[in-house]
Amino acid sequence: MYEPDNVVTGRAAISDVAGKLLEQFGPTFSFAASAPAVGHHGMGSLRWQAGPKDGPVTVTGTDVAEVENGKISRLWVLLDPPTT
């Protein structure tokens, strides 16, 4: 998984990153798709948004995945610039 400031390898490490992220923002923080996933020829993307439940959206981005043999082999997490 390629994040803006980090590269993480392996299921356990990726799960650890996701868990720490949710811990950082608290139990009401959640992610949701903001558009349908699209893909073809082994690549897919999903636009998403995140923020506190029933609160404002605080971050948006896109995940881009490379799929091999039916499994994600590489995942890029692309964060949108903050809006002002």
Residue 36 lies in a domain: yes
Residue 84 lies in a domain: no
This prediction has a pTM of 0.85
Q: Chain-centre distance of CA 55, in angstroms? A: 19
Is it the case that residue 84 has pLDDT exceeding 80? no
The residue range of the domain holding 24 is 2-79
Question: CA angle, 16 as apex, 46 and 35 as ends, to 5°?
Answer: 10
**42's torsion region: left (phi>0), alpha (psi -120 to 50) or beta?**
left
Q: Give the separation between CA 53 and CA 30, rounded to whole angstroms.
A: 6
The predicted pLDDT at position 21 comes to 83
Residue 59 lies in a domain: yes
Number of compact structural domains in the chain? 1
pLDDT, one tens digit per residue, over 37-83 is 999 999 999 999 999 988 899 999 999 999 999 999 999 999 999 87
Q: Domain holding 69: CATH number?
A: 3.10.450.50
